[in-house]
A and B are shown apart, each in its own frame.
Chain A
Amino acid sequence: MLEEYMLDFGYDMEEINLVKNSYKLAEYNKGTLLYNLKNLINFLRKNGVTNNEIIYITTILPNIISTSIENIKLNIYELNNFCFNKLYSFNLIKKYPYILELSIQKIKNKFECFEDLGFEQKNIIAILQNDPTLLGKDNFLIRKRFKFFLDNKFDRSKLIKVICEFPAIIDCNSTQINKKIEDFSKMGFNKKEFIKLINLFPDLLLTKKSLLTEKFADLIEYGFSETNIINIIKKAPYLLNKYYLDNMKEKLKCLSNLGFNNDDIISIICINPFIALYSKDLIINNFNNIKSLGYSNIEIYKMIKNAPIILSYDAKNMQEKIIFYKSINLGEVLVFDSKVLTYSLQLIKKRYEFMTKIKMIIINIDNYDILFLNDTKFFEKFNITKDEILKG
């Protein structure tokens, strides 16, 4: 009868034997077991546990069949002390049936362990809901792993945030982490760069596949070399976020639609990878903004290829610069020497004023480069510091 009932319910023979032969249940006769099992199923179903989940719970924890329903209810009631309501408690049981065997003191100790490390109660509840297996982890081990991250220059508040999002990080032991550091080192990231990346994307510690093949297949297919990609990640690690990676093809297509060829796009993104993070609208707006100021597409390609950062600047900032340079008859310069657009207009306006009004120098296309000397050379030539110029 017991086997037939269990087969009808959905257990397979292996699971039935596992349940029947468990140490404690072997002492019970089949009739009692059947009676208890039916009661348990009835109780769990009433609380939203599915048949498959019941099979999972009872094979993981066969002793639950011999536990009285009143005792189970009491355990669930006690979980309320830790702010787990009935729904959360059943979710915990589904994910980690062993919770029913943990004493209240043990759960309390776990909360205290996390509180000592700096977690707030709401964080602890979130972590345990996310990964209740942590309830069974040794507190000493949790503290040791946490300390390992702190010793490796992780910021405590960031680490707490990271563990809340990815509790499995606590499962990473020092050997696994050192192996990751070694893998990243082979790719060209030193330890500090690795830690910076992990602070931003802790899930990199958990992924088993290669960073490049898993996340950057689209870029490699497009023609970016591995070295290109590593340098891009170093400059703009945010690119590792799935959101940007998923939109990567669209961004490349947007640049292509504006008329840039593949080689140009690779070169532009390598110099200014933030372009790959901007929305399509922003890229198009910034391109059209330059166009509206009187430059042809071909001139704009040249300007952006020469100084890709100008595609990042705020439209108004670019407008002011272009209008100013046109007003002093240097509009033509911007096409073949667009790097002048990267200089702070505040500084260049002051230098222009200084040269034309104090030094009586007429600035034109033949000598405009004196406006853009670095501070040392400007001082050598005109004996005035940047600070004096700006205050001037």
Chain B
Amino acid sequence: MDILIRYGFSIEEIKNMMDTNIEIGNIEEENIERLITILEEIGCDSLQIKNILVANPFYLNRSLNDADSLIKEMLSFKIDNLQTIFDRNPFLLNLNVEDFKIIIDSKTSEGLKKEEIIDYISYELV
């Protein structure tokens, strides 16, 4: 778990993450690094990254392709400043593109406008 230490996680935080997500020990460091890089690229600072991973260490189980596709899909829906959204709800990072589309479709069918759907995802979705 050298990679997490390099990103400033304490031993206790890493232990908690490993207790929560028992698969972490089997994930290649290179994968972890690339998943963290994805968060950096959307603007997460180190505190936000730590908050996201401590709350949702299952993000590290995601394939790079899945994580990348989700973010691209969210950006293409014009949801920007994703760092604040994932900092608020780190579990959104577990969604697949399909899950995300289902949320959009469901809210659209409820009659919400695009801006209202973005607000829902940003501030209400739990």
* Contact bitstring A371-392, B, C-beta under 8 A = 1, else 0: 0001111000000001100100
B83 touches A344 (CB 8 A): yes
Q: Could you say which residues of chain B place their CB within 8 Å of the CB of A376?
A: 115-116, 118-119
Interface size, chain B (Cβ < 8 Å)? 37
Contacts of B118 in A (CB 8 A): 375-376
Evaluate contact between B56 and A274: CB separation under 8 angstroms: yes
CB neighbours (8 Å) of A343 from chain B are 88, 123
Contact of A274 among B13, B88, B91, B116 (CB under 8 A): B91
* Assembled-state Cα–Cα distance A347/B99 (Å): 26
Which residues of chain A in 139-197 are interfacial with respect to chain B, using CB atoms and an 8 Å cutoff? 155, 157, 192, 196
- Chain B residues in 8 Å Cβ range of A130: none
Given contacts A281-B16, A374-B122, A375-B119, contact A317 B89 (CB under 8 A): no
Shortest beta-carbon distance from A267 to chain B in Å: 12
Query: Are A243's CB and B84's CB within 8 A?
Result: no
Chain A contacts with B in 294-328, Cβ cutoff 8 A: 309, 312-314, 316-317, 320
A346 on the B face (CB < 8 A): yes
Report the bound CA distance from A237 to B20 in whole Å: 13
Give A57 to B126 CA distance when docked, in angstroms: 57
Interface range for A: 35 or more
Number of A-B contacts (CB under 8 A): 95
- Contact A386 to B83, CB < 8 A, known contacts A375-B118, A376-B115: no
Q: Is A390 within 8 A of B119, CB to CB?
A: no
Contact A312 B90 (CB under 8 A): yes
Complex Cα distance, B51 from A345, in Å, reads 12
In the complex, A102→B119 CA distance in Å?
Answer: 64
Q: How far is the CB of A221 from chain B (nearest CB, A)?
A: 24
Q: Which residues of A contact B51 (CB under 8 A)?
A: 313-314, 316-317
Which residues of the other chain, A, contact B47 by a CB distance below 8 angstroms? 314, 316-317, 320
- In angstroms, Cα B13 to Cα A313, docked, is 12
* CB pair B20 A192 closer than 8 Å: no
- Given A317-B47, A317-B51, A375-B115, A278 and B88 contact (CB-CB distance below 8 Å): no
Across-interface contacts of B123 in A (CB, < 8 A): 343, 374-375
Q: Which of B22-70 contact A (CB under 8 A)?
A: 22, 45, 47-48, 50-51, 54-56, 58, 63
Q: Write the residues of chain A forming the contact surface with B, with a CB cutoff of 8 angstroms.
A: 155, 157, 192, 196, 235-236, 238, 241, 243, 271-272, 274, 277-279, 281-282, 285, 309, 312-314, 316-317, 320, 342-347, 374-377, 386-387, 390
A–B pairs, 6, beta carbons within 8 Å: A278-B16, A282-B16, A282-B20, A344-B87, A375-B118, A375-B123
